Structure 1
Amino acid sequence: MTQDYTILRLGHHGDGIADGPIYAPRTLPGEVVTGVLEGDRLSDIRFKSPSSERVKAPCDHYKSCGGCQLQHASDEFVARWKMDVVRAALAAQHIEAILRPIQTSPVRSRRRAVLSARRTKRGALTGFHGRSSGTIVEISDCHVLDPALTNALPVAEAMAELGGSRKAELSVTLTLSEVGLDVAVRGGKALDGPLELALAQETEQHGLARLTWNDEIIAMRQPPAQHLGPDLVVPPPGAFLQATKHGEQALTQAVMEISKGATKIADLFAGCGTFSFPLAHLAEVHAVEGDAAMTRALDQGWRTSIGLKKISTEVRDLFRRPLMADELKQFDTVVLDPPRAGAIAQIAEVAMSKCPVVAYVSCNPISFARDAKKLIAAGYTLEWIQVVDQFRWSSHIELVAGFTLRR
């Protein structure tokens, strides 16, 4: 006899959850489904009572591709769900906060993608992995990527044909820059003369701005600059970049609002200067980043910009060696944008420093709420949170929060 399962809620990865818990991908709360139970997961799912929030996925690859988790849900549902995830993370730490309306990046706006590519008997296979699978799903179109990236898929195929193998995958990072495509390939064959020549020819044929192979620059027709505010920076190959320009602008606007009136700012986990450059139009900035190549790019970008206040840089692992409270006392604002793990050691020092203003940018509501609790306990008020969805149809959530020290 086939058993019915009622979906109670969505988990943090976007799967529906029934009693058990039993996980059912691409389901929505309130739906009644049947399926084949394998361990704690349902497969071959059939819908007996679909949700009114269910929509037809716009992408033909949705069922096989693992790049998106929520195309089966209405935009309104996804927005509410992401806001609720933030609220739940805060509630778990007994925090109440004002949440501003979510800002969601448009379709076809992703400017950076990491593709998997493999050489085959007939050429090459390029795309994203299937859901919970190592299989590459070839994509002919994508509703997430900027059309310029979709049109560049033949570049990834060419890389696999030239320097890939049928046993191992290439990781091909495609990034749109102000002057063309920036391509960074990892996992390819060791370079030799013929391969290097062939790759250089591909750079010219496809008009690439830069091509990097296993961290070695093969050719650079033009430095692949990125605008950070009005200023230009040339990131190192494969460096972190906000996924969409819309998302970057939304995060930056929130950080700038929180930092208004500052005279000296510490920008921690600064990357290539996503926030350092806009902030340097207002105040002096000390940018701290653990990656030396990104720090060099930031410094060079500042030295070639016009009209900015001073940006000093420091290479420092803020997980192992956070800026201490005494070092932070010289700043009137701290901006930090840590990775998903959060910044538990650094936040402890920020809390002790009593810096008047903190702008916290997070890509993980759970680690953010944990760190926010420490700031609140140290005498800070959480003024508001701006939630940003630049990874449309995924379970990924970003936010910016403003804290002020209570007087």
Structure 2
Amino acid sequence: MDQTELTIERLSLHADGVAHGPAGTVHVAMALPGEVASGDIVEGRIAVPRIVTPSDRRVKAPCPHYRACGGCVLQHASDDFVAGWKASVVETALAARGIAASVSRVETSPLHSRRRATLAGRRTKKGTLVGFHARASDTLVEVPDCLILRPELLAALPALHEATAMGGSRKGEIAFALTLSEAGIEMAAKGGKEIEPALFTQLADLARRHDLARLSWNDETVAARRPAQQSFGTAKVTPPPGAFLQATASGEAALVDFVRGAVGKAARVADLFAGCGTFALPLAANAEVHAVEGDATMLTALDRGWREAQGLKRVTHEVRDLFRRPLLPDELDRHDAIVIDPPRAGAEAQVREICASKTRTLAYVSCNPVTFARDAQLLIAAGFALRDLIVVDQFRWSAHVELAARFTRG
């Protein structure tokens, strides 16, 4: 081990401070650019630094769990700094591809607004532990006073402890995906014991006692006491257990508003990687929409939500793996605008087909600035112009960066 003073030059994509030490690059946890930090360097990292010279952008972390919990990595930085850094992550990724662009605004979700989170549960000699993992560790940190989660999720922690005691093992962890629906809390647990009649009965009783809307265990629905509905525009959708949902209501609203503005008055829209209809159903208020998604259960939920809603234009859907079978130019050309919201891998194959089509308007929502920049380079080479670019920070104080962009050509 070696202890020395280092000056932080920048933040990494994981929000660690980056400095250059005697043996090369050193990552420094909880440090900010311009600060001087010291500590033991272990395998190129200072995990617990002493800040010798603090930045004027450093603030006191508001959460009592901050130094132990790995859920947040930037509470030591001012809100203005965090917003600026997330914008710079996007701009730097684009610049690396030769694209000069500026983020026009950053929409940050407020405290206590996360309606979806995955916590871990583990049995111990003394009982149970439920919480988030510590930084770069298997250690679980309980977070009863978390500043990020909705109060309703925090109120469900006793149910997670009970479920861990019922179905957990000393050798593994249970992943509890909690989602706040309009009917209450949904719990989707994976990694616990195989379900058998006695455990099924115990879990069903747990759902009743804690008033859960829905409980599933290793992909098997144990209790569906009320439809775990979400509102997408005027439609009410009941997603399958554990299905993807934008992390905060305010973040979702910002993305939907941006996408609506991007497609404008388009009469026919294709929504690719459509999920359960986050964009497709609000857009159907003014346009016919064709929703394409690889998960059939999500599209079933979308279709039912559309059929039960009033006043929406026609929404068709198609189950299709867009990585292996992207929509081809002649299929894309049936639409006036395209919306695309791929996973972290981006959508290179689909974007190449968009480039070869006659598409003139594209709204691109991304959770990975690096793959977005790769796809943006292809689009610009095909004649598209990047007209607007925003960051939507639903994962406050984390290193996660989400964005939305509008492209047009012709």
User: With structure 2 as the length reference, what TM-score do the two structures score?
Assistant: 0.97
1:366 aligns with 2:370: yes
**Structure 1 326/58 Cα, relative in aligned 2: closer, same or farther at 3 Å?**
same
- Matched with 1:323 is 327
Give aligned pairs, total. 406
In 2, the alpha carbon distance for the partners of 1:393 and 1:129 equals: 16
Deviations 1:173-205, CA, capped at 9 Å, x for gaps:
110000111111111111111111111111110
In 2, the alpha carbon distance for the partners of 1:98 and 1:12 equals: 18
Work out whether residues 29 and 48 of structure 2, in 8 Å CA contact, stay in contact via their aligned partners in 1: no
SS of the residue corresponding to residue 186 of structure 2 reads: strand
Quick one: which of 82, 90, 93 aligns to 2:94? 90
Deviations 1:299-348, CA, capped at 9 Å, x for gaps:
11111111111111111110011011111110110000001111000000
- Matched with 1:145 is 149
Work out whether residues 97 and 383 of structure 1, in 8 Å CA contact, stay in contact via their aligned partners in 2: no
In 2, the alpha carbon distance for the partners of 1:97 and 1:17 equals: 25
Code of the aligned partner of 1:50: P
- Matched with 2:256 is 252
Deviations 1:343-379, CA, capped at 9 Å, x for gaps:
0000000111121100000111111111011111111
- Matched with 1:71 is 75
State the shift of 1:98 in Å. Answer: 4.3
Code of the aligned partner of 1:130: A
In 2, the alpha carbon distance for the partners of 1:285 and 1:53 equals: 45
- Matched with 1:17 is 18
Code of the aligned partner of 1:349: E
Query: How do 1:181-196 and structure 2 match up within 5 A?
Result: 181-196=185-200
Work out whether residues 354 and 405 of structure 1, in 8 Å CA contact, stay in contact via their aligned partners in 2: no
Code of the aligned partner of 2:6: Y
- Matched with 1:350 is 354
Q: Percent identity?
A: 55
SS of the residue corresponding to residue 21 of structure 1 reads: strand
SS of the residue corresponding to residue 30 of structure 1 reads: coil
* CA RMSD in angstroms, aligned pairs only: 1.0
1:310 aligns with 2:314: yes
In 2, the alpha carbon distance for the partners of 1:44 and 1:16 equals: 12
Work out whether residues 153 and 178 of structure 2, in 8 Å CA contact, stay in contact via their aligned partners in 1: yes
- Matched with 1:124 is 128
In 1, the alpha carbon distance for the partners of 2:97 and 2:388 equals: 16
Deviations 1:38-71, CA, capped at 9 Å, x for gaps:
1211133111101111111111111111111100
- Matched with 1:8 is 9
Quick one: which of 267, 271, 284 aligns to 2:275? 271
- Matched with 2:105 is 101
Work out whether residues 4 and 40 of structure 2, in 8 Å CA contact, stay in contact via their aligned partners in 1: no
- Matched with 2:40 is 36
Quick one: which of 209, 213, 216 aligns to 2:217? 213
State the shift of 1:96 in Å. Answer: 2.0
Code of the aligned partner of 1:9: R
Work out whether residues 103 and 250 of structure 1, in 8 Å CA contact, stay in contact via their aligned partners in 2: yes
- Matched with 1:334 is 338
Work out whether residues 122 and 128 of structure 2, in 8 Å CA contact, stay in contact via their aligned partners in 1: yes
Work out whether residues 263 and 282 of structure 1, in 8 Å CA contact, stay in contact via their aligned partners in 2: yes
**Structure 1 123/3 Cα, relative in aligned 2: closer, same or farther at 3 Å?**
closer
In 2, the alpha carbon distance for the partners of 1:48 and 1:340 equals: 37
In 1, the alpha carbon distance for the partners of 2:118 and 2:300 equals: 24
Moved more, 185-194 or 276-285: 185-194
User: With structure 1 as the length reference, what TM-score do the two structures score?
Assistant: 0.98
Code of the aligned partner of 1:336: I
Structure 2 stretches lacking a partner, 5+ long: none
In 2, the alpha carbon distance for the partners of 1:108 and 1:363 equals: 21
Code of the aligned partner of 1:272: C
In 1, the alpha carbon distance for the partners of 2:227 and 2:85 equals: 40
SS of the residue corresponding to residue 371 of structure 1 reads: helix
Work out whether residues 98 and 383 of structure 1, in 8 Å CA contact, stay in contact via their aligned partners in 2: no
Moved more, 17-26 or 96-105: 96-105
Structure 1 stretches lacking a partner, 5+ long: none
In 1, the alpha carbon distance for the partners of 2:372 and 2:195 equals: 43
In 1, the alpha carbon distance for the partners of 2:287 and 2:223 equals: 37
State the shift of 1:137 in Å. Answer: 1.1
State the shift of 1:120 in Å. Answer: 2.3
In 1, the alpha carbon distance for the partners of 2:373 and 2:124 equals: 46
In 2, the alpha carbon distance for the partners of 1:336 and 1:7 equals: 37
1:404 aligns with 2:405: no
Work out whether residues 119 and 125 of structure 1, in 8 Å CA contact, stay in contact via their aligned partners in 2: yes
In 2, the alpha carbon distance for the partners of 1:370 and 1:191 equals: 44
1:134 aligns with 2:138: yes
